[in-house]
Amino acid sequence: MRARLTDPQRAATSGRMTATGHEAGQSGWRARAASAVLVAGALALSGCVSVTAPDKPIVIELNINIKQEVIYRLAADAANTVESNPDIF
């Protein structure tokens, strides 16, 4: 879940880097196109920054789900452990 959220941000950053590289080597309409790409890249980048905001609650929720899942999976084994160690349980 987290990886999927983080990936677009990385893609946008590399896209912007490539656009800047083109701009340095070209001129005229290509430069304008490159700057358009740059603006798009910047927009995409700012979009990604806003995406990272709900990143934290999602991670916390995921941890709770994993824990509950683990406890459900362990329930039967835990019951066996309790029954086979009556001196300490």
Partner 1 sequence: MACVMKNLNSARSSLLFGAAALSLGALAAPAVAADYAAAKAAGLIGEKVDGYVAVVGAGDAELRRVVDDTNIKRRAVYASKAQEQHVTIEEYAFATGCTLIAKTEPGEKYQAPNGAWKTRGAGAPERDARCP
- What are the residues binding partner 1 (CB under 8 A)? 64, 67-68, 70-75, 77-79, 81-82, 85, 87-89
The phi, psi pair for 21, rounded to 5°, reads -60, -45
- Please say whether the beta carbons of 58 and 2 come within 8 A: yes
Closest approach of partner 1 to the CB of residue 61, in Å:
13
Closest approach of partner 1 to the CB of residue 49, in Å:
34
Select from 4, 1, 43, 40 the least CA-distant residue to 19.
40
Closest approach of partner 1 to the CB of residue 74, in Å:
4
